[in-house]
Amino acid sequence: MSDKYSSSGLSLEQYFFLREGETGLHMFSRVVYNNSAAPTNARGLQELRTLFRPNTAIWTHLLTKEKKWASLPSADAVSKQVEVQDATWYLGNTPNDPYVKQEADWFTKYTFQDTWRDLKAFGLFADGTKTSGNATFGAWTVMNVSECTRRLTVRLTQM
């Protein structure tokens, strides 16, 4: 997949690979800027994000590294959450919620962030309490390099 912004020459290319015998989806993103007539137009590109958000109800835990994991907030906590700011919710009104007990009264999109150079993998885990037959699963984004060029591998594995 690729797209080119014709007025500046800025291009985004994304490649997706499925390999036989692997449970992973490999993705590579490339931003290309080559325009000698307007060499500063690419300064508007400040970041490139990849969103990893499985949207099924089976997931029970979040993980960014061995020592940074927690239960997802329960349906009860989510139903009683108080939005405090964009992407920040107060969950402290459900003190017995597993996430609140283990992690914090607050949940934000930044709670499980980590520095790029230290991030090896992040993902979700299903402990079997929300799946048929109590099957356990993990969905992980795995970083296979740490320099500026990143290739992401998304894996869905049955445990």
pLDDT tens digits, 9-53? 778 888 888 888 877 777 777 777 766 666 555 555 666 666 666
* pLDDT tens-place string over residues 126-154: 999 999 999 998 888 777 665 544 444 44
Beta-strand ranges (E) seen in the chain are 2-5, 10-18, 24-33, 61-65, 68-71, 82-85, 88-90, 106-108, 121-126, 137-143, 151-158
Quote the pLDDT of residue 102.
Answer: 92
**CB–CB of 2/14 below 8 Å?**
yes
**Higher-scoring residue by pLDDT: 70, 116:** 70
Task: Please give the structure tokens belonging to residue 108.
Answer: 């934000």
**Whole-number Å distance between alpha carbons of 101 and 98:** 5
Quote the pLDDT of residue 116.
Answer: 67
Quote the pLDDT of residue 35.
Answer: 65
CA distances from 99 to 48, 70, 96, 111, 147 (A): 29, 6, 8, 12, 33
User: Which residue blocks in the chain are alpha helix, DSSP H?
Assistant: 75-79, 98-102
**CB–CB of 82/73 below 8 Å?**
no
In three-state secondary structure terms, 86 is coil
* pLDDT tens-place string over residues 54-76: 778 899 998 887 778 899 898 89
Over range 85-99, report the average pLDDT.
92
**Whole-number Å distance between alpha carbons of 140 and 136:** 13
**Higher-scoring residue by pLDDT: 158, 127:** 127
